[in-house]
Structure 1
């Protein structure tokens, strides 16, 4: 097994060396790419962070069904697939999805009642580009960005007065189909876009056969309208809606399934932006939004001939947000960003569990209902300065965050159902409700000031070097503090109102090099966590606990070499991560559910023949084994490493290359593998996508 790992690693490193470089199709590092990761638009070369960008062109050509699939090959990024098709979560640098802040147009998707972290509830057809910030972004973006941040930037107005875009696609991994259409344009100071998308997938096809109960369906729509009052002032509003449903299973637990008939996100937002106000005040940006997320979920957890448990959840999060940002040019060498952010999340949830005791004769069923009404309120002030001295650019800043959370008093009711008397349940029969417990209202607050400091050196032609230190901070969500859950196949997980906020210190050294067709981007990182929050097994149940310490360190390397005039571009990216937990009794382990190595490497080719732009991409994806170990050893597991081979091809044509067709042949050798314990990944499949712009 070690020999296999070393062989795989050697192959990946060899590919990286031979290609002299980085980047797969989704990792773009060029001189003309601009990003807003530092809260102001800048060229990527001048950003003192590890940032990867998925561009509009790459999204248009990709057959990816979800945002997660668009991000899966970015260095340092791992996709959390917990069984549900059509919806993914993302972890960065070995961290779980709870440590990744997910934003749409800079505004957070809140999640307070989930075992898997914040979802990315938006269709790829609605997205202009995606910026992935690897490493802590707590100073700029706040709590939840302790491991990194993903900013999904939606499409806005078009380039002409009127244009229409249409896309059709399908894949054989789930007999899936997808379609999207939009109208957009700009005229007389107005900018607009109206879009809609639909996607459907059936049972997932894997090397072990089709997995019954793994279908999904999603519908989405968005509207953007903005008006230029003059060349320096713009106002506008957005509306977007995503409606998703899916079923999933756990291949390790026969009979277990999850049914989610509804998971909706609806958002209304408005903004105003003013530029060049005076010699010092460069920009003022105001944003306000309301966002509602509603989820209904049912699990079925059987223990044959003993007990059947059916947990159900009905969760609604009403989210209100406001932010104000000002940009200041202080002399020739200093650029200051200051801001205030407010967010209020209101959770209205009901947890219901229907339990059938089959081991008792006669059997009986009882329903348990618990309402949860809580809220979380966040206030934040931040300031970030950039100072330039010769070839050095210094970045430094601070954020103060205040988080107040509370849970209303709630009562748990049980209703028993039995056709005959049963001494095991006394007199509670025939659907008579019984008050089982009463919990008093609880409240708490956390606050913290975090700092960052970094330096970027651009004194070498076509190259920048960067070094940074940043602190991270994450306050526990409502579920971790107040809400026990038995969702999932691993049993009950209890809340812990005594949890402390997580904090971290993070260090990074990196470089970027762009010269002709050669692109290199690398970083080495170290993250040291205190009071790390994770679930700890205690007997037959789990509880959220502050693990005494945790640390992650590793290297990310991405490289590409576009050989001039040939159209050939060998490329590779490689991630090496080591992640360790240490609990309060001294138990240490590096087996924390993250592969030590993963890589993508291959050769792209692009060439224009007689007005037809042709392209192909031959690549492999490799990862080493993934192991998890905890002190009790009750949830230990190991997933084997794997390498898959893939081929994509496409053509763009028309006077402005406004038509395109792309095809993909994935997992060519039908490799059986898992990224999580719950489900197998797709076997050999084919995907196709057609795009047209009018």
Structure 2
């Protein structure tokens, strides 16, 4: 059956490519037709003084992506890390891990204070209108954690007709995955609305090395949006969102990883958000825009972690609730003919309740066996106030200067209750009482600056240069919350300082009609990284003793011929020197070269919109050095080949069918040390709008 499906996919894609004769190419999408809000004000992409990549709604509709991480995997400078899970993927930008990347939904961040992997991306791809990926520090505009960059996910909103709708359904043989999405939306009499729901289910992952146990996932999502236009320039509204994720994490080879048994089960990770907004434009000649937002967001996570390493067996259970409150106000001002100022205030309050229950059994030989139960409860908050201002000054008709600053004040407090019961005969101890209590608090302020410019002295060309500072305040877990997840105990450090960085970039965007070229060279120096050091057997503590120096080049290039064929490449060359405790290494776990390249074709034939794409994805060898053990983990480079095709039909191409054959040669490859990526698989997706 599977062979038959693979043959069908190949035949459909080949047929689409063969139809190029006599077809008319679709209009090219260039950076001059794309507008983004990366600089907190809508701009033409050419005018933005930073590296920004955009995943459009068409990209999302035609993709087989099951998670947002899958959508971002081919963005230059971005690496997707799965940590052994299909359902929860996080991203690295320019080598910086997920802790140093802000994830936002409609400009409102998803925080995480009780995880060793960074902020989660908790939204169904079908709910998304577009994604803007800001590469390089965005701390001035978006605050702490944006050392590596920021990901802003913009959700779908209302429509222009009284009643519209869309549905989609897809399947994916890499994990027997199935998805279904439906939405009703519209607009009339000043009102706009949208109500959506989506389902995603996937079983264990199939790889070229076999199936991976404990990697299934499922999600359920709902979204509501209602807004009212009081005038053509004034709008207010609210959104409601709910995302419920159930996923597992496994390992491809437990013995090679040093485990007798290992599994992570997260039967519940829910994000529920309610938000209101108000926006008014053209208030006066100089007062261009006022925007105010407020939201409440709740993240509920329950996790079970099994780590068995002879002679120790550890089972940990974590139950976390994070309640977020956020308020932001931004005012835009046109000062004369050549100066545009945005200024704003943001308030964030993260309220955390976290409980960890750890059961440890150690076989000591003979009749002596130790069994301990440790219970930890943490109740705390992190509150921040921030003010920022960013000015764009047109010094000449062809050169604009952008400069800004942000001051952030952070206050944190956590009260920790602990208790432990131990037996030495192997019998099960009772539930420990919470006998110990410790309270910690701290506050600090930090200011960051940026300075950049864009020169547009040549038609269809923008040259940009930027210096920006990065800043990340330690989260509650790093400063105050002990954790036993992962096989050892990490002791927090209340005296940690913020992480900081200085970053430089020089880039050019060139869009002369059918061609698109975007090149960026960058360098960053980061200090005071927080790293854990072993001070006793299986006991670690956090210190500001690490740093990194990173330099590289990102390239996106394509050319659309009259025939509809478009060769393209998007890739990254990156060198990252990691420093820790007086040692340094270039074996930082990031490949030196990685990217995507191929030829796509689009055309029109007898009312049908046709497309096909033949491409490869490559990465060079990767190695990661462990400063504690002095050992290096390596995994080889890889190239895998893919073929996709699609067809749009009906009035205004309201219906579409997309198919794909991925990893055609069934290549076994890894993006991280945990598990192999999918082997050869086939996907199909149908979309309809009415």
Normalised to the residue count of structure 2, the TM-score between the two structures is 0.93
Which residue does the alignment assign to 1:663? 659
Counterpart check, 1:291 vs 2:291? no
Query: Residues 389-538 of structure 1: matches in 2 within 5 Å?
Result: 389=395, 390-408=397-415, 410-416=416-422, 422=424, 431-432=429-430, 438-488=436-486, 491-538=488-535
Q: Which runs of 5+ in 2 are unaligned?
A: 1-27
- Equivalent residue, structure 1, for 2:322: 317
Instruction: Tell me which residue corresponds to 1:340.
Output: 345
Cα deviation for residue 635 of structure 1 reads 5.8
- Distance, in Å, in 2 between the alignment partners of 1:544 and 1:675 is 27
Q: Give the direction of change, closer, same or farther, for the CA distance of 1:307–1:582 in structure 2 (3 Å limit).
A: closer
The residue number in structure 2 matching 1:273 is 279
- Matched with 1:261 is 267
Deviations 1:21-69 (A, max 9, x none): xxxxxx9752110000000001101111100000011111111001110
Whole-angstrom distance in 1 between the partners of 2:29 and 2:420? 56
SS at structure 2 position matched to 1:577: strand
CA gap of 1:494–1:613, structure 2 versus 1, over 3 A, is same
Tell me by how many angstroms 1:286 deviates.
0.5
Structure 2 residue aligned with 1:581: 578
Which residue number corresponds to residue 69 of structure 1? 70
* 8 Å CA contact 1:339, 1:382 repeated in 2: yes
Whether contact under 8 Å (2:371, 2:429) holds in the other structure is no
1:631 offset after TM fit, Å? 2.9
User: Quick check: 1:43 aligned with 2:49?
Assistant: no
Q: 1:442 to 1:600 in 2, by over 3 A?
A: same
Partner residue of 1:623? 619
Judging changes above 3 Å, is the alpha-carbon distance between structure 1 residues 563 and 535 closer, same or farther for their aligned structure 2 residues?
farther
- In structure 2, C-alpha distance between the alignment counterparts of 1:493 and 1:571, rounded to whole Å: 46
Counterpart contact for 1:68–1:89, Cα < 8 Å: yes
Q: Does 1:377 align with 2:374?
A: no
Aligned to 1:553: 551
Q: Is the 2:216–2:248 contact (alpha carbons within 8 Å) kept by the matching residues of 1? A: yes
Query: 2 CA distance for matches of 1:348 and 1:575?
Result: 40
- Describe the superposition over 1:614-645 as per-residue Cα deviations: whole angstroms up to 9, x where unpaired: 11100000001121113333563112111111
The corresponding residue for 1:693 is 689
Deviations 1:509-556 (A, max 9, x none): 000000111100010001111112233445534332213432111100
Distance in 2, matches of 1:102 and 1:558, equals 23
Residue 311 of structure 1 and its aligned partner are, at CA, apart by: 1.2
Matches within 5 A, 1:81-96: 81-96=82-97
2:211 alignment partner, SS class: strand
Three-state SS of the structure 1 residue aligned to 2:70 is helix
Per-residue CA shift, 1:193-224, capped at 9, x if unaligned? 00000000001001111112211010000000
Q: Distance in 2 between matches of 1:367 and 1:176?
A: 39
CA distance in 2, matches of 1:430, 1:571: 62
Q: Distance in 2 between the 1:29 and 1:486 partners?
A: 50
C-alpha distance after superposition, 1:631-676 (max 9, x if no partner): 3335631121111111111100002100000011111111111111
| CA distance in structure 1 between the aligned counterparts of 2:118 and 2:417, rounded to whole angstroms | 26
Cα distance in 2 for partners of 1:376, 1:511 equals: 39
- In the superposition, relative to structure 1, how do residues 249 and 634 fare at CA in structure 2: closer, same or farther (>3 Å)? farther
Supply the distance in 2 between the matched residues of 1:590 and 1:430 (Cα, whole angstroms): 47
- Corresponding residue for residue 640 of structure 2: 644
CA distance in 2, matches of 1:194, 1:457: 43
Give 3-state SS (helix, strand or coil) of 1:460's partner.
coil
Give the drift of 1:430.
6.3
Residue in 2 that maps onto 1:221 = 222
Contact (CA 8 Å) 1:163, 1:183: kept in 2 or not?
A: yes
Distance 2:491 2:634 in 1: 25
Matched, 1:367 2:373: yes
Tell me if structure 1 keeps the 8 A contact 2:375–2:434.
Answer: no
Partners of 2:303 and 2:433 lie apart in 1 by: 24
User: Are 2:85 and 2:248, in contact at CA under 8 Å, matched by a contact in 1?
Assistant: yes
**1:335 CA displacement:** 0.4
Whether 1:681 and 2:681 are equivalent positions in the alignment is: no
Contact persistence 2:160–2:188 (CA under 8 A): no
Cα deviation digits, residues 205-256 of structure 1 (max 9, x gap): 0111111221101000000000001111111000000000011112333520
Describe the shift of the 1:574–1:537 C-alpha distance in structure 2 as closer, same or farther (beyond 3 A). Answer: farther
* Contact 1:29/1:44 (<8 A) preserved: no
Aligned partners of 2:265 and 2:579: how far apart in 1? 36
Change (3 A) 1:551 1:213: same
Does the 8 Å CA contact 1:29/1:521 hold for their aligned counterparts? no
- Using the TM superposition, give the Cα deviation of residue 583 of structure 1 relative to its aligned residue in structure 2, in angstroms: 2.5
For the aligned residues, what is the CA RMSD?
1.6
Counterpart residue number, 2:13: none
CA distances 1:111-167 after superposition (whole Å, capped 9, x unpaired): 001111001100000000000000000000000111100000000001321111000
Paired residues of 1:136 and 1:471 also in contact (CA < 8 A)? yes
d(CA) in 1 for partners of 2:428 and 2:534? 36
C-alpha distance in structure 2 between counterparts of 1:431 and 1:254, whole Å: 24
The CA distance in 2 between the partners of 1:29 and 1:359, in whole Å, is 67
- Give the Cα–Cα distance (whole angstroms) in 1 for the partners of residues 260 and 71 of structure 2: 31
CA apart distance, 1:437: 6.2
Q: What SS class does the counterpart of residue 440 from structure 1 fall into?
A: strand
Deviation, 1:401, is: 0.4
- Structure 1 residue runs of 5 or longer lacking an equivalent are 1-26
Q: Does 1:113 align with 2:114?
A: yes
Describe the shift of the 1:573–1:83 C-alpha distance in structure 2 as closer, same or farther (beyond 3 A): same
Note if 1:354 corresponds to 2:359: yes
Q: How many residues align?
A: 655
What residue is the counterpart of 2:125 in the other structure? 124
